[in-house]
Structure 1
């Protein structure tokens, strides 16, 4: 077990002081196996958990030789002060997995000590494998403090498509995000070579949060990425022609990474934009039409 996967159970648990923390971890491994079907069948062959992180059984809505769909479950439904979540996913050569979540994740207000939460996600994709990482949106409550990091490690000819949709505060309930601070980090590498490195801090007390050169007062943001497209320029042009709301999003490509960004006020709009982009990009990335996970419809 790597250091990334190691959890000190003795240090976990409920505390109500500045040292409070509660660790949870999930390790998943997928392999492509020859079981006599037209294509190799991707199986969930490794599953290890600690604390309140689980998965349901794998689903194959696209057919026996199709993509393996798995739902990541966090029964508490949100992160509070001291929570430390670690997710480690590996897709072996020629495998194809799709990960999503059953509902929006919540980032709750920090406790009286201001203790932060953290979530670390590591996604490893081997040669000729595909991983789709499509969690439902994250809602940050006013006063939330924490950090999210997503590290994607690709081998040669690996492909990936994913997104992160973040809503700040709950404007519909007149509870805007006016205190607290979040930090997001993205790191995407190909054979150890960095392709996309990014860090942003969302602090409503900083002028960047409100300035037109920064967050501009937007309460919702989304980032979608895709790596492994045969014709990136054609994919970018297709998105520009077929997606609505051009004033609130933009798409570009650099060093083999397609990036679509949304900045606005409507998390449903951001979600629909990402889902529609996925429907357009998935056939170009995998040769298969998008098959909406059933959990999104419940």
Structure 2
């Protein structure tokens, strides 16, 4: 299985600006009755660790050793689960995006799953600081019969620390395809007046934390009632079929990251089946 990175940022420019340019990639295949590591690549501040290489599904923990992101930083992750393989991908901790003096931080994620394979993309929250500028891109390619659980949570300022996000920029782009056909697309953008934009009734209102959870698979619709029970009134969920593919989409929000996590943890634990929630997640 071949893993290709995007073109390298010029070395002279990287050293001059002292910005992060990091990439990590992992692939797994199913062999001898269980999922096994096939390839692993890591560069710069992007590190990947596996607490149990013999576990099935294979669990990969992504680590940004730079300790956060700011304007001009680039971080890329690639995860591939082959035919019949099962993989859970998470992060060691919440990703922090700090104030940008110029430019924007960028995280690009590419996930692919072979026939009858499964992937769960479960990073911990992204925390936005005031005047941060951040762009996140997620591209998912699923083969026929593949399933996916995808979650992203974002917190605009840590209320327990007295932090608020007044101004900044946040862009979030998702594209999910099955057998080459686009089955889910969304773009979210806010800024530069973040607080004003998010406080509207059509946005987060008084909330400062939000999460989107997507399930793609033949039995996705069967989870709907239980998902709605966990989410409660601060969010919602819907399920439908797209070209014969089941899809469940849930969104939830809360006044702070802790309140959001109290519902997100059981929700992801439910949807991730026997694999449960990665151990590095905690309340």
TM-score in terms of structure 2 length = 0.90
- 2:236 maps to which of 234, 250, 263: 250
- 1:219 maps to which of 196, 204, 208: 208
In structure 2, the residue matched to 1:167 is 155
For structure 2, the 5+ residue unaligned runs are none
User: For residues 145 and 291 of structure 1, do their structure 2 counterparts lie closer, same or farther at Cα, with a shift above 3 Å needed?
Assistant: same
1:54 maps onto 2:43 in alignment? no
Contact 1:122 1:151 in 2 (8 A): yes
1:81-118, Cα deviation, whole Å (9 max, x unpaired): 2111111111110100111111111001002xx22111
1:119 maps onto 2:129 in alignment? no
Map 1:1-298; keep pairs closer than 5 Å: 4-8=5-9, 10-11=11-12, 13-16=14-17, 21-34=19-32, 40-59=33-52, 64=54, 66-111=56-101, 114-203=102-191, 205=193, 208-230=197-219, 232=221, 234-241=222-229, 243=230, 246-254=232-240, 255=242, 256-283=246-273, 289-297=274-282
Following the alignment from structure 2 to structure 1, what is the Cα–Cα distance between the partners of residues 197 and 78? 33
Q: Aligned-pair RMSD on alpha carbons?
A: 2.2
SS at match of 1:237: helix
What is the total number of aligned residue pairs between the two structures?
Answer: 277
1:117-169, Cα deviation, whole Å (9 max, x unpaired): 11100001111001011111111011101200111111100011121110001
SS at match of 2:103: coil
For structure 1, the 5+ residue unaligned runs are 35-39, 284-288
Following the alignment from structure 1 to structure 2, what is the Cα–Cα distance between the partners of residues 90 and 42? 12
TM-score in terms of structure 1 length = 0.85
Following the alignment from structure 2 to structure 1, what is the Cα–Cα distance between the partners of residues 248 and 162? 35
Following the alignment from structure 1 to structure 2, what is the Cα–Cα distance between the partners of residues 169 and 204? 15
Following the alignment from structure 2 to structure 1, what is the Cα–Cα distance between the partners of residues 4 and 56? 33
Following the alignment from structure 1 to structure 2, what is the Cα–Cα distance between the partners of residues 11 and 259? 43
1:39-87, Cα deviation, whole Å (9 max, x unpaired): x221122111221101123515xxx562111111111221112111111
Shift, 1:249, TM fit = 1.4
SS at match of 1:295: coil
